[in-house]
Structure 1
């Protein structure tokens, strides 16, 4: 994809409301303190403050092909608060520099994965990572689910994200979700139930039926969301949850972690796999109900998984109920 094509796309978006802004190279260097290390949010994204005192995120590009689909998709779905909004751009760099809204608390990954040696960005500065309490984890996960409902239902052709994972989900200064990473998103063609990709990649979050068929459906996103939910609940990356599978196949690693939970579902020691810090907060019944939702999302057969609309409804039920009022009858076992 040539640079001119990306430029034409962005210029065409200037007529949208609100219109995209144009930033100078000097403005962005000043805003990010010359792209200082402590402003690095990951994935070439930097936190900054513009001349109006507004918190922004600046994305440096090193090619065009990896970003053009993200810009094209994101420009079509601007009416949801939890989708990262493109504010403007800068043409004075070798490749266009994109300017997004505030993501100053960095990726969700930083705030859920337990690692004593890991530092993250909090309000635009690198520091030891504070982990999210259970109540915030439940809210954030519900926001992610609601955003996926929007992608699947808001346009005439459902949009499949295909790459849901905690590293491309950012948090703003108020810890509100901002979903990004639309570079591999797909539209389901009219009259079809799936979308095909020519990409040959695979990750721990890829639904097993989507690999190696390269066909993605709404239920593929449901599966990825289920794995993300397990990481939210355990504080561990999916492929680190078990050593019982080969690390040569990412999809098999995810399946191994899922099998581990299912096998121990009715055992008292299931709690050893959950995050110790959120267990100390109480709300065990909520967390077990949440685990039940996650495990149904990652069922092997796509038709047995819930829709994202159903997931949102269940998460809101869990959020509204007090821990003491949640009975075993409420929990839908996987």
Structure 2
């Protein structure tokens, strides 16, 4: 039994469970009691370090939220990254403290990290705003950013290979015989989506596929938002849709899939769709969603390993680590030859 499983049973986030375990503020009393009840009922014991090792120190995991749409609505991704962080931290002899920080609260969290009891920081940077980098530079302890490369900075980062993942998706659709491949693009511009956009356009050019501006549909990166935006676009659109789409993430893909079906399109007979992230909802969608799988736990583990290197043997150097992706084809994709039959 781990933090992610406890959080699911209690109906809270993994960050909330960590706050309760560490006896930290930010959790209501009713929620705190519910979490403790689940912990006691399932006999949860935090992973133990090797008894022969002395405590090495404290690592803080800061889950940063800016707009909040991606972090708050993608709990599966965060939980699995945190699971990798938690396991690796304890294996290497470090206590782990999980904190959440909005844009307004980040200065307070940075100050706390510089207070003397923190040996290093792992920052969930999915929504990290570029104009906050100057604040991040005031950290007096090593820091590794997860899920944002923070390009053109000297911060260590562990990120998924977004561009290659998008390239793989487009190439897979081409291998299925599709020559007109559209793009379900997020209306929210973050580092991950920008890199996936680059991968899509690079793949289209390298594979000799013509791009049509009208085949790029800009949708909000939430299930309800993507569905509403796609429905509105379909209601006013003239002409035939592409036979296939690559989406910036699974949530956008699932919202668009629902809108396409409501408009009378068959998936995958009329339209093939590939998403990105491999969230749990992909397998229960109708049809199951093809996607680019991300090794989330591995990202968390690599972040801890790099952070510990910086804590124990600081060199002043920085590393940007790309974690590879894997394509998973399910029922939302089909060869172009069987479409519109």
Please report the TM-score for the alignment, with normalisation by the length of structure 1: 0.28
Larger radius of gyration: 2
Higher-RCO chain (CA-CA 8 Å, sequence separation at least 6)? 2
Please report the TM-score for the alignment, with normalisation by the length of structure 2: 0.27
